[in-house]
Structure 1
Amino acid sequence: MAFEPPQRLVRALGETPEPAQDADWLGQLPELAETALTRREVRAQRVQAPGGRSSLLVLVRYADGTPAALKLAPPSARPDLELAALAHWGGFGAVRVLDTRHHEEDGALLLERLHPEVSLRSLPEAKALLEACGTLRRLWVAPGSGHGWETVAERTKAQAGALRTAPAEVAALAGAALEAREELTAAPEEELLLHGNFRQGKVLAGERAPWLTVGPDPLVGERAYDLARLVRDRLEDQVASSAGAAGARRRVNKLADSLEVDRDRLRGWTLFRAVESGNRALAAGRRRDAELLLEFAAWL
């Protein structure tokens, strides 16, 4: 079968820090996919579309009919760190890895088959947030000694550098976000393994458990950083509502209280992550996304 990368993936990789390297990977993707399938002795059924923004997902079956999913991501996405996190969780709250034997050769991940078309976004908002919080509780575990994941302080240091050169229209929010990060990293609270990119769309329906998370961008740090991305989920709905700034603050407080996270720290990380994402969207020419993110950040 043809392994054409979904357009969503092509567009997203064009915005990465290393677009030339990722373009080379995209050009080799058909051959990489065929080789990965052969090594693992599985048969492709179809490519999941629209798929993710950082990987190709192929739905496959073993010779005995057992379903699975083969995920291929460029080296810049650090699939080795994703594998390490999934292995550390061992299927508790997260998708299970089925085979690691060939990962060092091609970086591909053979995973249990979930239902990629059914995420928490298919649920009413209140139910989705309840299930999301339950999933996060399972993921927040000690990273173990000698772990190889970067810390929240390390990841956000580079992001802070980009904010310091943000355009004038972002300057005021960038200053507030940088000040919040400075305060938060000066007094770190916890060292837990975090998903790194957690939101409702990253939690899929499964057979082994009702809901399991996928696609971590793992790092180590405090719970408030991980929860901050969930705060702005379904952002268009939040901005379109009449609740405005008061609604955003209530959402921060509700999620903080649900997971016993400090409200001020969650607000600070939510502000930083929203402004950072908005500035990045603006640089990539996604003005509509940038405006939504920056309007939300201004409410905080």
Structure 2
Amino acid sequence: MALEPPQRLVRALGETRRDGGAEWLEELPERVRRAVGPRALAVERVQAPGGRSSLVLLVRQADGTPAVLKLAPPWARPESERAALAYWGGSGAVRLLEADAEEGVLLLERLHPEVSVRSLPEAKALLEAAGALRRLWVEPPAGHVFETVAVRTGRQAGAMCAAAATDAEAAPLVEAALAAREELLASPPEERLLHGTFRQSKVLAGERMPWLAVGPDPVAGECAFDLARLVRDRVEDLIAAPSGAAITRRRVRRLAESLDLDEERLRGWTLFRAVESGVRARRVGRLQDADLLLEFASWL
């Protein structure tokens, strides 16, 4: 089956994998064939721009029902995504129809990929996104194997330290972000199952519910960690606004209040995640993104 992976996916793999995910990309046509054939799926098209860590196909099942077929490489943790979607059972998130995590295959209900909450006015988008996120914050299953916030951020902290050693400009922000992480982890509140990569574009319009979350990279930890990524949505607009710093601080306060979270904990995780993303963007050569993120972090 001939297919062309979206450039967004190819570019992201080039940034995150030493070999650019070449072997997995080369095997994609065969992987699609193995996923489609036994399930009697009819492929409509590749979704573009699609995701940064998986190939997403719009398909129809044997009875004509629209669905989405997602193929993810092993390093994208498809088993973790499968487990979280199964546990949520369609409450607040896209419904899992079938999965073969060993093959990196997820068959999902079809939402409206062209309509995310990012299409709404900013205030409404934040409100709807926060409401969708609240439904996902449930107690993790007993004996779960989800990565924890402490483990994930520990891995990120190591990369940040290495980058700061050769980046004098970013070093003060990295130091502040790492200090915030240490303080936050010293007294964590109750653990919840989190989306992990939540932002406005991860909430799509659906039929069962107005808005449903997609594309989790689930993690277990405190809710403020999950909300932190939402704080900086539309960061380019914040940077361009004359009162961007004041708007950011108000956004932290309002989001914390709307979800009954500690404002300082949300501010701390927002700082850490913005600096981590900024340092990573600079490392792979996305200098404009890096500058935006690090300026945003300086406001916190």
Report the TM-score range of the alignment, normalised by the length of the smaller protein. over 0.9
1:120 aligned partner, one-letter code: V
What aligned pairs does 1:260-279 form with structure 2 within 5 A after superposition?
Answer: 260-279=260-279
Number of the residue aligned with 1:42: 41
Contact 1:3–1:33, Cα closer than 8 Å, also in 2: no
Does the 8 A contact of 1:22 with 1:76 survive in 2? no
Taking the aligned partners of 1:11 and 1:54, their CA distance within structure 2 comes to 10
The amino acid that maps onto 2:114 is E
Which residue, out of 108, 112, 132, partners 1:111? 108
Instruction: Give CA deviations for 1:181-218 in whole Å, capped at 9, x if unaligned.
Output: 01001111121000000000000011111110000010
Supply the AA of the counterpart residue of 2:264. D
CA separation in 2, counterparts of 1:245 and 1:63?
52
Give the residue type in structure 1 aligned to 2:184. Answer: L
Aligned position for 1:22: 21
Percent identity between the two aligned chains:
69
Which position in structure 1 is the counterpart of 2:156?
Answer: 159
- Whole-Å separation in 2 of the counterparts to 1:140 and 1:255: 15
Partners of 1:162 and 1:45 lie apart in 2 by 40
C-alpha RMSD over aligned residues: 1.0
AA matched with 1:231: V
For structure 1, which segment, 244-253 or 195-204, has the greater mean C-alpha deviation from structure 2 after superposition? 244-253
CA distance in 1, matches of 2:295, 2:279: 12
Aligned to 2:135: 138
User: Structure 1 stretch 122-131 or stretch 262-271: which is displaced more?
Assistant: 122-131
Contact 2:189 2:222 in 1 (8 A): yes
Which structure 2 residues correspond to residues 276-295 of structure 1 after superposition, within 5 A?
276-295=276-295
3-state SS in 2 of match to 1:20: coil
Q: TM-score, normalised by structure 1?
A: 0.97
Conserved? CA contact 2:82–2:101, under 8 Å: no
Question: In the aligned structure 2, how far is the partner of 1:106 from the partner of 1:217?
Answer: 17
- Secondary structure, aligned partner of 2:4: coil
What amino acid is aligned across from residue 153 of structure 1 in structure 2?
A
SS in 1 for 2:141: coil
**Compared CA separation, residues 191 and 105, structure 1 to 2 (3 A):** closer
1:242 has 2:237 as partner: no
**Whole-Å separation in 2 of the counterparts to 1:146 and 1:181:** 25
Cα contact 1:193–1:221 (8 A) shared by 2: yes
Q: Secondary structure at the match of 1:111?
A: strand
Once residues 139 and 129 of structure 2 are traced to their aligned partners in structure 1, the CA distance between those partners, rounded to angstroms, is 20
Count of residues in correspondence between the two structures: 297
Distance in 1 between the 2:101 and 2:117 partners? Answer: 32
Match of 1:88 in 2: 87
Note the residue ranges of structure 1 that are not aligned, 5 or more in a row.
none
**Matched residues in 2 for 1:246 and 1:63: separation?**
53
How many angstroms apart in 2 are the aligned matches of 1:153 and 1:38?
Answer: 41
Three-state SS of the structure 2 residue aligned to 1:169 is coil
1:43-65 C-alpha deviation (Å, 9 max, x unpaired): 10100011111111100001221
Residue of structure 1 equivalent to 2:3? 3
Mark the runs of 5 or more structure 2 residues left unpaired by the alignment.
none
Matched residue SS, 1:39: coil
* TM-score normalized with structure 2 length: 0.97
1:56-75 superposed matches below 5 A: 56-75=55-74
